[in-house]
C-alpha cells in the first residue's frame, strides 16, 4: 500500500531502582468474556511450566475463525484466544497466519508467561499476513536462549489455504506485554522485498509494554513498515530501545535506560519523540551514516538526563525540530553540545530550537556543512536542571489496566433493535455494566439509544469482522446506529458498525448529543472507517477530543460554539497518529494533528477554507499518481495554519488575498514540485514564513533533479521569526496527549477503542 507496524515476570521492578505508587488508569481489563476460547479448557494446554504447550496453542491459532473465507463461522466460532494464569512452555514458533481481527490475550503479564524451550535463533510468535489483530497481557521469556525474537510481525508471503488467507497487515495492537530473558528482539516488524513481501506491516500501536535487557526492544525494518506508535513503554537496559531501518515511528511518554542508544535510525523517513524520559544512555537519537536525504527528526517535551555522549546525532540534510526539551550535560566532559548535525551535501543544515533547557551553553554543533542556521528562540543555557526524576515520570505513565469483574449482560445471537434496547436499558441500572456482543451480526431496524447519565460499556469480540451492528433495509436514513445522550460515561470497544462495501448507506455510526459540558472529553483509539467524515464536532465550546493511532480516519470537521468564536472556550481536537487528510475547521475551532502518514486518491487532501487554528506536525502527504500539481490548497482562511516537519508529494496553491491569515511552513520537503512557492509572490496579502524547505524533482533531462535542493527562505508581511515561531507553534506546544481519566460528575466522557465504522456518512459525531 505504501510506496517507499507470577512475580518474577515483571522484572522491571527488580532491575530498576524505582519505587513509585502507580495511579490506576480508567481503562480496565474485563475478561475472559463468554465467547472467548480458553486455551486450557478448550485446547488442553497445561500452563504448568513443565509440559510443552506448543501444539495446543498452535491448534488454537489455526482454528481461529476467518470470516473472509467463511472458515469456522458456525457454533464453534471464536475470534479471541484467552490464556489464564500459568507458564506456557513452547519449543517451536507459534504461527498466526492469514487471520483478520483476532486477539491473543493473557490474564496478566504478572501471571501469564510464554517461555521459550526451543533452539537458539528462533522466533517465539510470528504474525504473517494477519491484519487488525491484538496481542496483549503476556510475558514473553527467552529463558536465556540466544538470538530469540519474541513477537515477529512479518508479511513473509501471500498465501491462502482452507483455514487462512493473507491480508495486508495493518491496524495492529501490541499492549501490556513484558519481554524478558535476554531477547534479541522484543518486537521485530516489517520486511524488505528480498526477505518477504516488503509491504505493509504498518499502523501498529505498541502500548504499555516493558522491555527488559533486550538487545533491541523494538526493531522496524522496511520501506513500508510505517506508523509505529509507541506509548507508555519502558526500555530497561536494552542495547537499543527502538531501532528503525527505512520505516518510521513515533514515541510518546516512554522511559529509556539504554546501554547504547534509545533510538537508532537508518534511512528512516520522519520520526518523533514526544514526552519521553531518558537517563544514562550513550545517545537519545542516533542516525547511521550521512546523506543528502531530507529526514525529519522531531523532539518535543523530553527530558534527557546524564547522557554519556551527544544525545542527538543526525548527519542529513533534513532539519531537526526541538521544542520544550530538557538536556542534561554529558558525562563525558569533552562533549559540549546536545545536538550534532550537518551533511556533506550542498544546502542548508538547520535546527529549530524553541524553549529548551540546555545545561551547557553550546547546544548545537554543525559539522561538514557549508551553510547552517540555528533558530534558537527562548532557550535557556547553563540553567541548573532539577528534573522530577524517573520514579515520578513512570508513575505518570499510563499503567497496566486492572482486571475488574463487572456485571456482564450477553446479547443473544442475532438480536435486533428491540431486544438490544431492552438490554441497554437494563444495563444502565448497574454502574459500568458490560453489554457483551459475542461474535456475530446484529441487525438493527431502528437506532439504539443510551440515555443521559448512563455509565455502561458496549464490548464485542474484535475490531473487524467479529461483532457487527448492521442496519436493516428499513433503517431510517439520516439516523445513527448508536445514539448517546450526554452527560454520560460510555465505553465502546472491539465492535464493527455496518459493513465495508464502499456504498454509503446514508446513516451515521455513533452520534453523541449534549456532549459539550465544561470538562467533557472523548478519547478515540484506533478508529478504522471509510466514512466521508470520521469525526465531526459541531458547535462545541468545551469538548476535548483526542484521537490516536488511527490511520484510516479521513475527513474531520470541528466547528466552534459561541465561546470559541469569541476566542474563549476549551474545545480542541488533538490527534496523535490520527489522520489529518480532509481536515476542516470553522468558527474559530482548533485542531492539532501529529505523526501520521497519508496516501490515497484525493488530489488535494489538504484543502483549507473557513476559520480557526490548524497545526499539522509530522506527516507524509502522498496522493496517488502525484506530480507537481496542487496537493495543498490554502483558500480564503481566517486564522492560523502551521505546517511543519512534513513530506509533500506535489505543489502548493495559496490564495493571495488573505488578510486574516497567518501561515507557517517549516521543514517541509516537496517531491515533484521544483518551485513549490510559485504562488507566494511579493504582492500577497497575508503574514507568512516559509523556512527550512527542500525540494526534489523528477523531470527527465533536468540536471537539477539529480539533487535535493534547498528552497530559499521567504517571509511575507510583518513577520519576524523570533516572535512568529512561538506565536505559530503555541498550539503545537499545548497539544500533548492526555491519559484517559475519569471526568467530572455531570460531564460527558466517551472512550472508543478499536471500533470500525463502514459505509457511514459520519463515523462519530458530537453535537452541542
Share of the chain above pLDDT 70, in %: 96
pLDDT at 294 over 90: yes
pLDDT at 4 over 70: no
Looking at residue 345, what is its pLDDT?
A: 87
Looking at residue 204, what is its pLDDT?
A: 98
Q: pLDDT, tens digit, for every residue of 610-643? A: 999 999 999 999 999 889 999 999 999 999 999 9
Instruction: Please check whether residue 379 is in contact with residue 346, taking contact to mean a CB–CB distance below 8 angstroms.
Output: no
Q: Three-state secondary structure along 181-239?
A: CCCCEEEEECCCCCCCCCCCCCCEEEECCEEECCCEEEEEECCCCCCEEEECCEEECCC
Q: Could you tell me if residue 22 is inside a domain?
A: yes
Q: Could you tell me if residue 76 is inside a domain?
A: yes
Q: How far is CA 75 from the centre of its chain?
A: 36
Looking at residue 297, what is its pLDDT?
A: 98
Looking at residue 24, what is its pLDDT?
A: 45
Q: pLDDT, tens digit, for every residue of 690-728? A: 999 999 999 999 999 999 999 999 999 999 999 999 999
pLDDT at 226 over 50: yes
Work out the burial of residue 501: count CB atoms within 10 Å of its CB; fewer than 13 is exposed, 13-18 middle, 19 or more buried.
Answer: exposed
Q: Which residues contact 294 (CB under 8 A, 6 or more apart)?
A: 316, 317, 318, 319, 647, 669, 694, 696, 708
pLDDT at 166 over 70: yes
Place of cell 506535489: 650
Under the banding of pLDDT at 50, 70 and 90, the label for residue 1 is very low
Q: Could you tell me if residue 260 is inside a domain?
A: no
Q: pTM for this structure? A: 0.96
Q: pLDDT, tens digit, for every residue of 363-378? A: 999 987 678 889 999 9
Angle at 679 between CA 676 and CA 685, to 5 degrees: 135
Under the banding of pLDDT at 50, 70 and 90, the label for residue 335 is confident
Q: Tell me the mean pLDDT in the region 391-419.
A: 96
Range of the domain at 131: 12-80+93-247
Q: pLDDT, tens digit, for every residue of 18-47? A: 323 333 458 999 999 999 999 999 999 999
Q: Could you tell me if residue 280 is inside a domain?
A: no
Share of the chain above pLDDT 90, in %: 90
| Total domains in the fold of the chain | 1
Q: pLDDT, tens digit, for every residue of 647-704? A: 999 999 999 999 999 999 999 999 999 999 999 999 999 999 999 999 999 999 999 9
Instruction: Please check whether residue 514 is in contact with residue 485, taking contact to mean a CB–CB distance below 8 angstroms.
Output: yes
Looking at residue 369, what is its pLDDT?
A: 65
Q: Could you tell me if residue 631 is inside a domain?
A: no
- Residue 569 in 3-state DSSP? coil
Q: Could you tell me if residue 99 is inside a domain?
A: yes
* Radius of gyration, CA atoms only, the chain: 25
Q: Could you tell me if residue 543 is inside a domain?
A: no
Looking at residue 760, what is its pLDDT?
A: 95
Distance CA 715, CA 690 (A): 6
- Residue 47 CB neighbour total at 10 angstroms: 21
> At 487, which helix (H) or strand (E)?
none
Read off the DSSP letter of residue 160: B
pLDDT at 732 over 90: yes
Rounded to the nearest integer, the mean pLDDT of the chain is: 94
Looking at residue 383, what is its pLDDT?
A: 74
Q: Three-state secondary structure along 665-704?
A: EEEEEEECCCCCCCCCCCCCEEEEEEECCEEECCCCCCHH
Q: pLDDT, tens digit, for every residue of 348-359? A: 889 999 999 998
Q: Could you tell me if residue 652 is inside a domain?
A: no
Q: pLDDT, tens digit, for every residue of 92-129? A: 999 999 999 999 999 999 999 999 999 999 999 999 99
Q: Indicate the length of the chain as a whole number.
A: 768
Looking at residue 503, what is its pLDDT?
A: 82
Q: Which residues contact 463 (CB under 8 A, 6 or more apart)?
A: 101, 132, 134, 171, 494, 496, 526, 528, 754, 755, 756
Distance CA 207, CA 678 (A): 43
Amino acid at each position: 500500500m505504501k510506496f517507499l507496524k507470577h512475580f518474577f515476570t515483571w522484572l522491571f521492578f527488580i532491575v530498576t531502582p524505582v519505587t513509585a505508587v502507580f495511579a490506576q488508569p480508567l481503562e480496565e481489563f474485563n475478561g475472559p468474556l463468554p465467547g472467548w476460547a480458553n486455551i486450557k479448557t478448550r485446547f488442553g494446554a497445561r500452563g504448568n511450566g513443565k509440559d510443552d504447550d506448543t501444539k495446543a496453542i498452535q491448534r488454537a491459532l489455526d482454528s481461529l475463525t476467518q470470516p473472509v473465507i467463511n472458515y469456522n463461522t458456525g457454533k464453534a466460532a471464536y475470534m479471541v484466544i484467552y490464556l489464564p494464569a500459568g507458564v506456557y512452555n513452547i519449543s517451536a514458533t507459534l504461527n498466526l497466519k492469514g487471520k483478520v481481527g483476532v486477539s491473543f490475550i493473557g490474564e496478566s503479564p504478572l501471571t501469564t508467561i510464554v517461555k521459550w524451550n526451543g533452539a537458539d535463533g528462533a522466533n517465539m510468535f510470528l504474525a504473517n499476513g494477519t491484519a487488525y489483530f491484538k496481542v496483549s497481557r503476556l510475558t514473553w521469556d527467552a529463558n536465556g536462549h540466544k538470538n530469540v525474537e519474541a513477537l515477529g510481525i512479518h508479511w513473509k508471503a501471500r498465501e491462502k489455504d482452507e483455514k487462512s488467507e493473507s491480508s495486508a497487515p495493518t491496524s495492529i495492537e501490541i499492549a501490556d506485554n513484558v519481554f524478558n530473558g535476554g531477547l534479541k528482539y522484543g518486537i521485530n516488524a516489517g520486511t524488505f522485498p528480498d526477505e518477504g513481501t516488503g509491504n505493509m506491516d504498518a499502523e501498529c500501536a505498541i502500548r504499555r509494554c516493558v522491555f527488559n535487557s533486550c538487545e533491541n526492544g523494538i526493531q522496524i525494518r522496511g520501506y513500508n513498515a510505517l506508523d509505529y506508535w509507541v506509548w507508555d513503554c519502558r526500555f530497561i537496559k536494552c542495547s537499543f530501545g527502538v531501532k528503525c531501518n527505512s520505516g518510521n515511528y513515533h514515541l510518546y511518554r516512554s522511559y529509556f535506560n539504554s546501554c547504547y542508544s534509545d533510538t537508532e535510525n537508518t534511512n528512516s523517513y520522519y520520526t518523533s519523540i514526544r514526552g519521553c524520559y531518558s537517563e544514562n544512555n550513550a545517545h537519545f537519537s542516533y542516525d547511521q551514516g550521512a546523506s543528502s536525504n531530507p529526514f525529519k527528526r522531531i523532539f518535543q517535551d523530553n527530558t534527557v538526563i546524564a547522557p554519556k555522549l551527544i544525545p542527538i546525532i543526525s548527519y542529513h540534510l533534513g532539519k531537526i525540530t526541538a521544542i520544550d526539551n530538557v538536556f542534561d550535560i554529558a558525562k563525558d566532559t569533552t562533549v559540549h553540545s546536545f545536538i550534532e548535525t550537518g551533511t556533506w551535501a550542498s544546502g542548508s543544515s538547520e535546527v529549530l530550537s524553541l524553549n529548551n533547557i540546555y545545561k551547557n551553553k553550546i547546544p548545537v554543533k554543525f559539522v561538514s556543512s557549508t551553510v547552517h542556521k540555528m533558530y534558537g528562540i527562548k532557550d535557556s543555557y547553563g540553567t541548573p536542571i532539577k528534573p522530577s526524576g524517573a520514579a515520578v515520570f513512570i508513575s505518570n505513565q499510563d499503567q497496566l489496566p486492572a482486571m475488574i469483574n463487572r456485571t456482564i449482560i450477553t446479547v443473544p445471537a442475532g438480536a435486533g433493535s428491540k431486544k438490544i434496547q431492552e438490554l441497554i436499558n437494563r444495563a444502565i441500572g448497574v454502574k459500568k455494566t458490560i453489554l457483551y456482543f459475542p461474535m456475530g451480526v446484529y441487525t438493527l431496524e431502528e437506532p439504539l439509544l443510551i440515555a443521559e447519565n448512563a455509565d455502561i460499556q458496549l464490548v464485542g469480540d474484535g475490531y473487524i469482522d467479529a461483532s457487527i451492528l448492521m442496519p436493516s433495509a428499513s433503517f431510517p436514513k439520516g439516523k445513527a446506529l448508536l445514539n448517546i445522550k450526554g452527560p454520560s460515561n460510555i465505553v465502546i470497544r472491539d465492535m464493527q458498525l455496518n459493513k465495508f462495501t464502499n456504498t454509503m448507506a446514508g446513516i451515521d455510526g455513533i452520534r453523541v448529543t449534549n456532549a459539550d459540558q465544561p470538562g467533557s472529553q472523548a478519547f478515540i483509539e484506533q478508529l478504522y472507517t471509510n466514512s466521508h467524515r470520521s469525526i465531526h464536532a459541531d458547535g462545541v465550546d468545551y469538548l476535548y477530543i483526542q484521537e490516536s493511532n488511527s490511520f484510516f480516519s479521513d475527513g474531520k470537521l470541528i466547528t466552534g460554539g459561541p465561546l470559541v468564536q469569541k476566542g474563549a472556550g476549551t474545545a480542541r481536537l488533538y490527534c496523535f497518529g490520527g489522520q489529518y487528510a480532509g481536515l476542516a475547521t470553522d468558527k474559530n475551532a482548533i485542531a492539532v494533528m501529529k505523526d501520521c502518514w497519508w496516501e490515497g486518491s484525493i488530489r488535494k487532501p489538504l484543502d483549507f477554507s473557513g476559520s480557526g487554528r490548524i497545526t499539522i506536525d509530522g506527516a507524509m502527504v502522498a496522493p496517488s499518481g502525484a506530480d507537481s500539481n496542487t496537493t495543498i490548497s490554502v483558500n480564503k482562511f481566517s486564522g492560523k495554519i502551521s505546517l511543519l516537519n512534513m513530506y509533500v508529494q506535489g505543489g502548493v496553491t495559496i490564495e493571495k488575498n488573505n488578510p486574516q491569515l497567518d501561515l507557517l511552513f517549516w521543514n517541509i520537503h516537496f517531491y515533484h514540485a521544483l518551485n513549490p512557492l510559485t504562488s507566494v509572490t511579493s504582492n500577497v496579502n497575508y503574514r507568512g514564513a516559509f523556512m527550512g524547505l527542500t525540494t526534489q524533482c523528477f523531470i527527465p533531462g533536468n540536471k537539477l533533479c539529480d539533487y535535493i535542493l534547498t528552497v530559499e527562505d521567504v517571509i511575507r508581511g510583518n513577520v519576524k521569526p523570533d516572535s512568529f515561531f512561538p506565536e505559530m507553534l503555541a498550539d503545537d506546544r499545548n497539544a500533548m496527549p492526555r491519559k484517559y481519566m475519569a471526568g467530572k460528575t455531570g460531564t460527558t466522557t466517551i472512550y472508543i477503542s478499536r471500533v470500525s465504522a463502514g459505509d457511514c456518512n459520519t463515523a462519530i459525531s458530537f453535537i452541542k
